[in-house]
Amino acid sequence: MTGPILTDAEVDEICDGLTQAAAKVRYLRDVLRVPVERKPNGRPLVRRVDWERRQPQAQNERPARGPKWTVPA
């Protein structure tokens, strides 16, 4: 049975490549648009119901604050 919040391992899998807790919070909040709180140790705290209700992003849509993957001319 799964708990009411995502485990640290699940958050790490979602935020693959990010190591700092603050970066994970920003990614979840700003890019994936999931409500995020912080645990006392600074790691993200995401309710499972919020994660399951999130709006899927369009596959080709670049996040507003995401990286620009173009090569300058």
pTM beyond cutoff 0.85 = no
CA distance 51 to 68: 26
Give per-residue pLDDT as tens, 32-49: 889 999 999 999 999 999
Whether residue 24 has pLDDT greater than 80: yes
User: What is the DSSP annotation of 11-57?
Assistant: HHHHTTT--SHHHHHHIIIIIS----EE-TTS-EE-BHHHHHHPPPP
CA distance 29 to 5: 16
Give per-residue pLDDT as tens, 53-70: 886 654 555 555 666 667
CA distance 72 to 50: 38
